[in-house]
Amino acid sequence: MHIHILGICGTFMGGIAAIAKQAGHKVTGCDANVYPPMSTQLEAQGIELISGFDASQTDLKPDLYVIGNVVSRGNPLMEAILNQGLPYISGPQWLGENVLRDKWVLAVAGTHGKTTTSSMLAWILQDAGLSPGFLIGGVPNNFGISARLTDDPFFVIEADEYDTAFFDKRSKFVHYRPRTAILNNLEFDHADIFADLNAIQTQFHHLMRTIPANGLIVSNAHEAALDETLSRGVWTDVARFGNGLGDWQISNVGSDDSFDVLLKGELQGRVQWNVTGEHNRLNALAAIAAARHVGVEPRHAIEAFSRFEMVKRRMEIKGVVNNITVYDDFAHHPTAITLTVAGLRKRVGTARILAVLEPRSNTMKLGVMKAQLPDSLTQADLIFGYGAVGDGKDALGWDLAESLAPLGDKARAFSDLNELVNAVKAVAQSGDHILVMSNGGFGGVHQKLLDALK
C-alpha cells in the first residue's frame, strides 16, 4: 500500500512513517518545512519528502492519506483530499488499526514524564531479552531511534492526551487500546484545546474505559486528579506507586539518587543509575511495575537501570567550555521546569545555575501558566527568558518581563537571541551550569552559547 503522510516531520508522525515503512508499505510525506533531524532520518529509510502542502500532491495517487494533527481546514492539500473524496485517516487511528491491534500495548500517559518513562519501559523489556516495538516522542539513547516495529508481541507507546486530528477531537491515546497503562500524573495543560482540568480527566477516563479487565493500570498514588478520574469508574486492577505511598514504593534514597524498590513492603532490589530527581525515581518505579505485568521480574528490571541511558533533550549535556556546562532539556510546563531545575540543583550543589528559557508551548504562549513561571525558577541563580518582541510582549500578547518580575534582578527577558547569548556570556564563569529549556529548537541557542563561551 502507498501511504502519504501529511505533517511527517513531527516526532510522532515521523515515527508512524518509519513503522509503516518497516511494515512493508511505500511511504511518502510532506510538511510545511522539511527539516532535520526527522527529515534526514526518514530520507535514510528511503521515504520521499515534499516541502509544503501543495494540492498537486494528489497526483501521487496514494492508496491512503494519513493526517497529522498539525493539519487543519484550509490546508490546500487537505482541501483537495476532501473535495475529491479521497481516503484519509488520522495517524493514531491508522496505528491502532494496523499495528497495535495484534499487540500487547503498554501505554504511558500523563502530563509529564511520558517520553522518559516510555524509554525506561522499552529498555527494561529489551534488557530482559525481549524485543519490543515502540513509538516514543523522543530519542532514547539506548536505542538511537524513536520508533521501531518488531515481531515481538509487546509494543510500548507514549500515549499523548493531545487531540487526534482536526476531524477527531478525542485524545490520541483513545486509539491505542492498551492492556497495560501507566498514568504518571495529571494536571492542566494544552490550554489551546482543553477548557480545564476536568476536560482532560474526561479524556483519561475514556482511555480507562478501553483497558480490559485482565489488564493493569499503574497509577501515581500522589496524584489526586488521577484518583478523581479513577473514581468515575474503573474495570481493571490498579497498582499504585509512590514515595511512601501505594503498592510500589521508593525507599532509602541515597545521595547518589540510588534507591530501594519495595512491593507491598518487601524489598525487590536497589536501583543504581546515573539519573537524578524524584520525578525520575517515580518514572522508574512505574516502569518496573508495568514490566512486571508482562513477566519481567522486578529484580531484572531494577538491574536494567544500571545500563539505562537518558533520553535526548532530557538534561542532555550539549558541551563543556572553560568548565561551563551547557544542558538541553525539553521542559516547558512550569511543573516540568520546577522538577528539572530541582534535579540539576541536587546534582550540582551550590554551583550557579543559569536558566535559559523559551516559553513556546501552546499553553505557555496563551499565557495560562505565566503566573507560575517565577516559582518554577526560584532555584536558579540567574534567569534569561526569550520570546518577547520589541514592546516587551510576545506574539500572543503577554509580557514576559512582567511575568519574571517577581524574581527581581536575577531575571531578564530578551527579544533578540544574540543579545540573550551575549548577556549569558557576560556573566558566565567557570563552574557554572547553563540549563536551556524549550520544547522547540530555540534557534540553535545551545551551540551559540558554546561558541560564545569559547
Cα 271 vs. chain centroid, distance in angstroms?
23
Neighbours of 135 (CB within 10 A): 27
Q: What is the CB neighbour count within 10 angstroms for residue 379?
A: 16
In this prediction, residue 366 carries a pLDDT of 57
pLDDT over 90 (residue 348): no
| Alpha-carbon dihedral sign for residues 179, 185, 189, 194 | positive
Residue located via cell numbers 508522525: 13
pLDDT in tens, 273-302: 988 888 899 999 999 999 999 999 999 999
pLDDT tens for 100-159 read: 999 999 999 998 889 999 999 999 999 999 999 999 987 788 888 889 999 999 999 999
pLDDT, tens only, 395-411: 546 778 888 889 999 98
145: its cell numbers:
531511534
Segment 250-259 shows an average pLDDT of: 92
Greater confidence (369 vs 109) lies with: 109
Q: What domains can you pick out in the chain, each with its CATH number?
A: 2-91 (3.40.50.720), 99-307 (3.40.1190.10), 316-453 (3.90.190.20)
> What pLDDT is recorded for position 390?
45
Grid cell, residue 389, equals 518582541
Burial of residue 421 (CB within 10 Å: 0-12, 13-18, 19+) is buried
Give the DSSP letter string of 176-206.
S--SEEEE-------TTT-SSHHHHHHHHHH
User: What is the C-alpha radius of gyration for the chain, rounded to an integer number of angstroms?
Assistant: 22
- Residues at the binding site are 110-116
Asked if 233 and 202 touch (Cβ cutoff 8 Å), the reply is: no
The span from the CA of 161 to the CA of 173, in Å, is 6
Looking at residue 444, its pLDDT comes to 82
Q: Which three cell numbers stand for residue 440?
A: 522547540
Amino acid in position 303: E
Average pLDDT, the chain: 89
What is the model's pLDDT at position 98? 96
Across the range 73-87, mean pLDDT stands at 98
Residues of the binding site for ATP? 110-116
Q: Which of 2-6, 159-163, 234-238, 369-373 has the lowest mean pLDDT?
A: 369-373
For the stretch 312-333, pLDDT in tens is: 667 788 899 999 999 988 776 7
| pLDDT (0 to 100) of residue 189 | 66
The answer to whether the CB of 38 falls within 8 A of the CB of 14 is yes
Instruction: Residue 234: name the closest of 254, 213, 218 by CA.
Output: 213
> Does the structure show a pLDDT above 50 at 91?
yes
- The pLDDT of 44-72, averaged and rounded, is 95
| HSE toward the beta carbon, residue 227, CA cutoff 13 A | 8
Question: Using omega within 30 degrees of 0 as the cis cutoff, is the peptide bond preceding 92 cis?
Answer: no
**By the 8 A CB rule, do 410 and 354 touch?**
no
Residue 361 clears pLDDT 80, i.e. is over it: no
Instruction: Tell me what the mean pLDDT of segment 221-238 comes to.
Output: 95
Residue 344, pLDDT above cutoff 80: yes
Instruction: Read off the pLDDT band of 191 (50, 70, 90).
Output: low
Average pLDDT of the residues in 71-95: 97
Rounded mean pLDDT, 337-341: 85
User: How large a percentage of the chain has pLDDT more than 70?
Assistant: 92
Q: Interhelix angle for 445-453 vs 417-427, to 10°?
A: 40
Most confident of 37-51, 171-185, 188-202: 171-185
- Give the residue-averaged pLDDT of 178-196: 80
**CA neighbours within 13 Å on the CB side: how many for 142?**
21
Per-residue model confidence (pLDDT) at position 392: 44
Q: What is the mean pLDDT of residues 252-272?
A: 95
pLDDT for res 150: 97
Using pLDDT thresholds of 50, 70 and 90, give the confidence band for residue 364. low
Segment 424-454, tens digit of pLDDT: 999 999 999 999 988 777 778 888 999 889 8
**How do residues 8-20 score in pLDDT, each as one tens digit?**
988 899 999 999 9
87: cell is 481516503
Which pLDDT value is given to residue 312? 64
pLDDT of residue 372 exceeding 90, the answer is no
Least confident of 82-96, 113-127, 242-256, 404-418: 404-418
